[in-house]
Amino acid sequence: PITMTKQHANWSPYDNNGGSCVAIAGSDYCVIAADTRMSTGYNILTRDYSKISHLAEKCVMASSGFQADVKALQKVLSARHLTYQHQHNKQMSCPAMAQLLSNTLYYKRFFPYYSFNVLGGLDSEGKGCVFTYDAVGSYERVGYSSQGSGSTLIMPFLDNQLKSPSPLLLPAQDAVTPLSEAEAVDLVKTVFASATERDIYTGDKVEIVILNSSGIHREFMDLRKD
């Protein structure tokens, strides 16, 4: 008789939809960017998916990882921000939103949102700020950061170009990058063009959002389609 071997049901609540995010903080601006490709395994689900979410007037989040969890996270942050606006009659600042995101992720640490986020914007003094996260809410204010499938390629390149001062230095040095806004946008375009060559999950288009004193500006650049 033919004996059927039992197949172990290997179902996971998570998937990784790939993609890369980058943020750079300057003296009076913040550039935050992400590619628009969404994949699962070797399949491209869509070539035109925005990973960037506008959370508050001066605060934007880019998220890589499992996009269903990212959507759920964005909805929670949006609801919490609405409550804040009703209670305080003002928009949440970027550092306040950074703390809220950390708390929201940490609250779900035993069944985490499988999302890797960079939060960028302007602080109360109008200076650029970037916050980088792990999946369970540990975060840090930095001058630049990258998350997602291409981050292992992008981060060393940014380190080489921008050389952030060590957080261990005393007195603490300012983390903002010395680049002008136009130079930062050019650098973002360069890192995505490079990452696209080597990472199959990054490609199609890069969406670049620039925050400064005059508001929010968005631009796109085509990347490789293969």
Q: What is the pTM of this model?
A: 0.91
93-144 confidence digits (pLDDT tens): 999 999 999 999 999 999 999 999 999 999 999 999 999 999 999 999 999 9
Residue 3 included in any domain: no
Domain that residue 56 falls in: 20-223
CB distance 109 to 18 below 8 Å = no
pLDDT of residue 152: 95
Residue 47 included in any domain: yes
pLDDT of residue 22: 97
- A 10 A CB-CB count for 40 gives 14
Which CATH number belongs to the domain containing residue 202 in this structure?
A: 3.60.20.10
User: How many angstroms separate the CA atoms of 104 and 98, rounded?
Assistant: 10
160-182 confidence digits (pLDDT tens): 998 876 767 777 777 778 889 99
Residue 146 included in any domain: yes
Residue 29 included in any domain: yes
55-82 confidence digits (pLDDT tens): 999 999 999 999 999 999 999 999 999 9
User: How many angstroms separate the CA atoms of 20 and 93, rounded?
Assistant: 25
CB distance 208 to 223 below 8 Å = no
Residue 209 included in any domain: yes
Domain count, the chain: 1
Q: Please give the C-alpha separations between residue 220 and each of 13, 17, 67, 133, 138, in angstroms, as whole numbers.
A: 32, 21, 21, 25, 30
User: How many angstroms separate the CA atoms of 119 and 32, rounded?
Assistant: 8
Residue 118 included in any domain: yes
Residue 4 included in any domain: no
pLDDT of residue 117: 96
Residue 12 included in any domain: no
pLDDT of residue 177: 84
